[in-house]
Structure formats: structure tokens, C-alpha cells
Chains A and B, each alone.
Chain A
């Protein structure tokens, strides 16, 4: 059984080289000179503002996409309407589309000469929220749709024959079935919203202390040769990513054993 070991060590070595090594090394570099400099770097006014702005954008984009996601999933699975197939395909598009292209299309729509020009949307928070919503749109839908398909309509029909209103049926029957899938989708949406770079980079104008999110801050620090600042901010984002992974692992078994 030497083949087994060859594959095992090949696979693990690949993971170490591509994934674990680089991420681990950035943690090491960020704390190379102790906690102090790293802490100072993430508590500068610009870094703190970037962190708050990132959270603020996520706080708008995530609930919006959650509500949209659940409604869209129910619409796709439970109702027949013209263009359902198209909606289904379009929902996946942000997963395959370059974020820069997303940013550019928003830029063209709201920029000078665009159809919806003016209103102070571009190079400000509204455009950044829109860009974030665009790229994190598919996650809740994609998690909820397969669960809705699997649970079927029998219980919902039973509820309505017993006299439950549409709202009651949703609250008592549909929602308990999809809540873990929704939670899983929210975790993915949040991770994507906090980490979005390309689309936000195009529409934000990247004004330090104004429209700079944490990911943009990482790039700006790096390009200003402040590697400590860049590594420290990157570690904050990496910690958020690790928290996401832990949440994903906590939510997954519940989804499977339900």
C-alpha cells in the first residue's frame, strides 16, 4: 500500500505549500516583533475606520441578501412563473463573474452619463453596499433551494388544509425546515461581504478614512510599504475567515442530521 502514502503525502504537501504555509507565515510576520506593533497598526484611525465601514456595509448587505435569498428560493422552488429558469441561472452568475466586471457595470450605471447618474451613489457607501450585495447574492439562495426541494410540499399542504394562513404555514412549517440552511448561507454571505475586494475597489474611489474598507486598507498599506500594517490588517481578516470556518463546521452536522 505504498500508493496510499504517496497520495497522502502528495496531497498534504500540496496543501502545505499552497495554503497552510503562506497563511501561517503571515501570522508569524504580523507578530514578528510582538503583539505591540501589530496592535498599534490595527488601531490607527484609518484602520479602525476601515474596520467599521466594512462591518457597516456587511450589516446592510447581509440582511438584505438573506431576505432576498429566502424569498427567491421559495419563488424558484414553489412557484411556476415565466422566466424561472432564467432567474435560477442568473442567481449563480455572481459566483462565476469577475468582481471587477461587477464594479465596472455599477460604475457605468451610476457614473457620469449612466442611466442612473447622480444621487451621490458612486464613490460613496451606497455604491459599495450595492457592489457587496451583488457579489454575495447567491449564497443564501443556493443553500436554501436544495433543502426546500427535499422537504417537499406535503407538510405545507397539510398545514393549509388544516386552516393555516400563508404566513402561519411559513412560520410553523417552512421556516423550521430551512433555518439551518439559511444560517449556513448567512455565514457564507457574511464572509464574502467582509472580504469583497475587486468590486468595492472599483466603485469606492478608495479615499483613506472615507471609503476604504479593510480589504482596501490591506492593499493601500502594502503599496505604501507599511508591511506591518498590511500584515496586521490581513491577520484581522484571516481571523474573521477562521471564525467563519468554525461556524461552518458547527452548522454543517446539524444540517446533515436533521
Chain B
């Protein structure tokens, strides 16, 4: 594992690194990746928390089935995810929605693959949360919104944040789900992973390696951030 990564760093070395990273196409791809991933992470923060809440606090028929569906994006190969989205929301869409070769398509693809992260980090925390405190807040006259903001949210916030960070990291590096639906138009829908793939295909290993180092750096930062978040959350436990 270390040897390949070392080879990557070695290939990206030298004075050309900065030039390779700052080509217009490379900057456009990296920028798009960051913006889209942030957007996807934010949507996940809201949707993931809502889904987790529905699974823990709500009761309805078929809940167990919905619960096991959440892991489907983990189990489903990413290229299949991309293909399914293209079938329903592509040029031959039966519902008249065509996001193929658009930035919206990239967002939808990333929403699909990152769906489980926030749900699966928030769910166990929400299960552990003491309901008595919420009932106390409600009996003291707090509305549902105030109860959520003052009582529930502080409890689940670390879990939401670490789920969001995982989703963000996944979105930064995603390739399979995006490659079909984005159309890979440089400056428009080309994300960083696809850009790296394109550089490899055209034999520009140094350009590919340079952009990869940037992606690798972001991934490492996010991982370190999650580790730091965990230590911060458990700081009173020790």
C-alpha cells in the first residue's frame, strides 16, 4: 500500500508540480469537485438526519425494509449506480428529467453514493439519546422546533458532522457513479477523479499524479479532521 503511494508522490515531484496542478482544466476540475462535494455534504446533513430520525423515532409499516435499503449504495457497484441514475434521469428519462452531461447530474450521482454516511452515523446516537430530556423540554413549554434545536441537535451534532465529513471525502474521490452521467465535459462537468483518469489516458502521468496528490491531500485532511472530531467529542470520557 505504501509503495504505490510513494511511487505516486515520486512521479508528481519536481518543479512542474505547481504548473501541472494549475492548468486551467485542472483548476476547473478541482474547483467543481470541491463546490459540488460541499453542496452534496450539506444536502446529506439535512436529508440524512431526517432519514435517521424517521428510522429511529417514527413507526410505520415497512420500516425495517427501508432501514436495510439505506446500505444499498454501499453494496451497489458505483458504475451500476451511475447507470441506474442515467436510465431514470438521463436523455431517455420516462419522467422527463434529463440531468445527463449537466452539473446537476454530478450532484445527483454523488447524493446517491453518499446517502448512507450521515444516516448511519446519526442513527445509533439518536437511539442512545435520552428521550426524557426531550419530554421534559416539551413539558416546560418548548415547541418541537425549540426542543430539536436546544436538546436533540447538540446531542447528535458531532455524529452529523462526522457523517458529513465522510460523505464529503467520498464525494471528492467518486469516479464510477459520475463517469457515465457527467459526460466528462472539461470546464463544465469534469470532476477531479475523471480529470485524473483523462490525464492517464492521454499518457500525461505527471499531470495525473499532481492532481492525485491534491485529492490525496484533501482525503488525508478530512480523515484527520474526523479523528480530531472524535477526540474532541470523547474529551470528557477519559
Interface residues of A (CB under 8 A from B): 3-4, 7-8, 10-12, 14-15, 18-23, 25-26, 29, 89-90, 92-109, 111, 114-116, 134, 137, 188, 191, 194-198, 201-202, 215-216, 218-219, 222, 230-231, 234, 237-238, 241-242, 244-246, 248-249
Contacts and interface: CB of A to CB of B under 8 A. Distances in A.
For the complex, would chain B's binding face be called helix, strand, loop or mixed by DSSP majority?
Answer: helix
B18 interface: no
Interface of B: 1-5, 7-8, 10-11, 47, 50-51, 53-54, 57-58, 60, 66, 68-81, 83-89, 94, 108, 111-112, 115, 144, 166, 169-170, 172-176, 179-180, 192-194, 196-197, 200, 205, 208-209, 212, 215-216, 219-220, 222-224, 227
B77 A241 contact: yes
B7 A108 contact: yes
A19 B112 contact: yes
Contacts of A197: 77-79, 175-176
A246 to B, nearest CB: 8
Contact of B51 (A11, A26, A97, A109): A11
Given A18-B111, A101-B196, A191-B74, A198 B84 contact: no
A80 to B, nearest CB: 18
B68 A249 contact: yes
Given A11-B54, A20-B69, A114-B7, A97 B115 contact: no
**Most chain B beta carbons < 10 A, residue from A22, A90, A93, A249:** A22
Given A22-B112, A101-B216, A245 B75 contact: yes
B219 A237 contact: no
B146 to A, nearest CB: 12
Contacts of A242: 72, 75
Given A11-B54, A98-B172, A29 B80 contact: no
B3 A7 contact: no
**Most chain B beta carbons < 10 A, residue from A3, A89, A96, A191:** A96
A11 B192 CA distance: 30
Contact of A108 (B74, B166, B205, B216): B205
B223 A219 contact: no
A153 to B, nearest CB: 19
Contact of B223 (A7, A89, A108): A89
Nearest to B77: A195
A100 B94 CA distance: 32
Contact of A109 (B7, B220, B222): B7
A101 B58 contact: no
A195 B76 contact: yes
For the complex, would chain A's binding face be called helix, strand, loop or mixed by DSSP majority?
Answer: helix
Nearest to A7: B50
B77 A237 contact: yes
A241 B72 contact: yes
A140 to B, nearest CB: 15
14 contacts: A18-B112, A19-B69, A22-B88, A97-B215, A99-B173, A108-B205, A195-B78, A201-B197, A218-B80, A237-B80, A238-B80, A241-B77, A245-B68, A245-B72
A23 B78 CA distance: 12
Contacts of A116: 3
**Most chain B beta carbons < 10 A, residue from A8, A92, A194:** A8
A245 B87 contact: no
A104 B3 contact: no
A66 B7 CA distance: 26
B99 to A, nearest CB: 11
B75 to A, nearest CB: 4
A229 to B, nearest CB: 11
A101 B215 contact: yes
B211 to A, nearest CB: 9
Contacts of B205: 104, 107-108, 111
A196 to B, nearest CB: 7
Contact of A234 (B80, B88, B170, B172): B80
B54 to A, nearest CB: 4
